[in-house]
Amino acid sequence: MGVDMFDELPDFLTQGEQARLFPVLSTTSKEGRTTSIVLACMAKVDEFGANLLSSLGQRIGVRSRIETFTEVVCANSCNGQTDRPDGLVVVRTGTREWRALVEAKVGSNTLDGAQIERYRQLAKENDIDCVITISNQFATTPSTHPVPEVMKSRSKIPVFHWSWMHVLTEADLLLSRDSVSDADQKVLLNELRRFLSHESAGVKGFDRMPREWGDLNKLVSSGGMIPAKSVEAQVVIHAWHQETRDLSLILSRMTETYVTERLSRKHRSDGAVRSKDELASLRDKGQLMAELDVPDAAAPIQVVADMARRSIDVGMTLRAPEDKISTKARVNWLLRQVKLDRLDDVYLRLHWPGKSEPTQHLIQDLKDNPDLASVGKDQLAPHSFFVFQSKQLGARFAQQVNFIVDLEELVPAFYRDIGANLSAWQKRAPKIKDDRATAEDVTTEAMSEDAQNYDG
């Protein structure tokens, strides 16, 4: 059965093969080859395996051992079902074991909800903790699955999901941040990165919106109303979630840090509620929205795809500096941080106290004349700024591929040219007062004397 003497075949398997770095498989078996190589690297590269599994809530300590297998056949075969999972991951920590079946698809192959349900049943009958799926489909988090039927299932066996780009990004970040301590393991992980980034591996990003994207754009541009239970809108929102996840991975690789999507607790825990709320926003505003968190950035990156205007807005909201009184001083504080030379489509939206409406100006106009910001807002000062780039895409907006191409160009470009240079305002640290310069100045005796001399 091809199992190393160090990795005994688990007793709930009747057949299996240790995951190999150099699998002996048919040249047409892309899925088997890619899965075997990745699972082998999970077991052989400590930080890689630990990071991937930590995204599933599994803490891998120094006493933990990761074992991975392919071509597995379970002892209990689920009422005669002949399905064979692509792999198995076993984490041993002392006497404790955590087990996961693995199902993978490469290229344009997509996961099958019915097959995953059968694997859930197989896991249940063989005391396996969960199922992990890997494909070119994207999920916002590993626990929010890209296949709707999986999320709707009543099965108690969890199903987690990694996109291949997530796996590749994890390898890339570990290497770019020099986070692999063992030199041989570092070489091995670099070879995995090289393999996964080659077109023959079948790994790709999200590259096109669904056919329904064009249909929905035609409806909105002609003044139509999106129905409350629009199937087309639900498909588009599902695709948008995949694209925004891919965007976060793209930015992760570009910044060499972990960029994530910012979601409310409610939306993070319940994908159905998130989709329902976003459908309501799409119907009311004709907009798809997302927020991306870059560690240590001044604010999240806000992305708005506006179907009525056929435009993409990318920006960040900053609190205005409270230590500056006038509007002009607050605006100049922000303008000094925008260093981009070409400012023909970069705007500043000012938010004012009370019921006063927001105002908006081209950044270039404000640089030429900062007093413009105060027009019509006497005695007021803005409390926050939204600095953003707005790009009108015209016909390209409704095109399945070009919309993604433009979006994946605009978002990183905004962060590179503007967002990374912005700093959030912070209150200055309090200073020790001149009349309370020593500890003796604030003793009970000193404060009693101050109280007696207090004149209001």
Sequence-ordered list of residues with C-beta below 8 angstroms from that of 423, at least 6 positions apart, any chain: 298, 337
* Per-residue model confidence as pLDDT tens digits over 146-204: 999 999 899 999 999 999 999 999 999 999 999 999 999 999 999 999 999 998 888 99
Burial group, residue 387, by CB count within 10 angstroms (0-12, 13-18, 19+): buried
Q: Report whether pLDDT(272) > 90.
A: no
Cβ atoms of 125 and 78 closer than 8 Å:
yes
Q: Report whether pLDDT(233) > 60.
A: yes
Distance of CA 429 to CAs 144, 253, 321, 426, Å? 42, 35, 14, 9
* Per-residue model confidence as pLDDT tens digits over 240-261: 999 999 999 999 999 999 999 9
* Per-residue model confidence as pLDDT tens digits over 350-407: 999 999 999 999 999 999 999 999 998 888 999 999 999 999 999 999 999 999 999 9
Q: What's the per-residue H, E or C state across the chain?
A: CCCCCCCCCCCCEEEEEECCCCCCCCCCCHHHHHHHHHHHHHHHCHHHHHHHHHCCCCCCCCCEEEEEEEEEEECCCCCCCCCCCCEEEEEEECCEEEEEEEEECCCCCCCCHHHHHHHHHHHHHCCCCEEEEEECCCCCCCCCCCCHHHHHCCCCCCEEEEEHHHHHHHHHHHHHCCCCCCHHHHHHHHHHHHHHCCHHHCCCCCCCCCHHHHHHHHHHHCCCCCCCCCHHHHHHHHHHHHHHHHHHHHHHHHHCCCCEECCCHHHHHCHHHHHHHHHHHHHHHCEEEEEEECCCCCCCEEEEEECCCCEEEEEEEEECCCCCCCHHHHHHHHHCCCCCCCCCCEEEEEECCCCCCCEEEEHHHHHHCHHHHHCCCCCCCCCEEEEEEEEECHHHHHCHHHHHHHHHHHHHHHHHHCHHHCCCCCCCCCCCCHHHCCHHHHCHHHHHHHHHHCCC
Q: Report whether pLDDT(295) > 70.
A: yes
Burial group, residue 355, by CB count within 10 angstroms (0-12, 13-18, 19+): exposed
- Cα–Cα dist 23/299, whole Å: 46
Cβ atoms of 370 and 328 closer than 8 Å:
yes
Cβ atoms of 316 and 299 closer than 8 Å:
yes
For residue 443 the two structure tokens come to 């003793």
Is the CATH number of domain 13-201 3.30.70? no
* Average pLDDT across the chain, whole number: 92
Q: Which residue has the higher pLDDT, 408 or 31?
A: 408
Alpha-carbon dihedral sign for residues 298, 299, 300, 302: negative
β 301-306/311-319 pair status: antiparallel
Give the pLDDT confidence score for residue 2 in this predicted structure.
41
Q: Report whether pLDDT(5) > 50.
A: no
Domain residue limits, the chain: 13-201, 211-421
- Entry pTM: 0.89
Give the pLDDT confidence score for residue 193 in this predicted structure.
96
Q: 160, 170, 216: which is closest to 47 by C-alpha?
A: 170
Q: Which residue has the higher pLDDT, 6 or 63?
A: 63
Q: Report whether pLDDT(276) > 60.
A: yes
User: pLDDT-derived band of residue 72, with 50, 70 and 90 as boundaries?
Assistant: confident
β 159-163/130-135 pair status: parallel
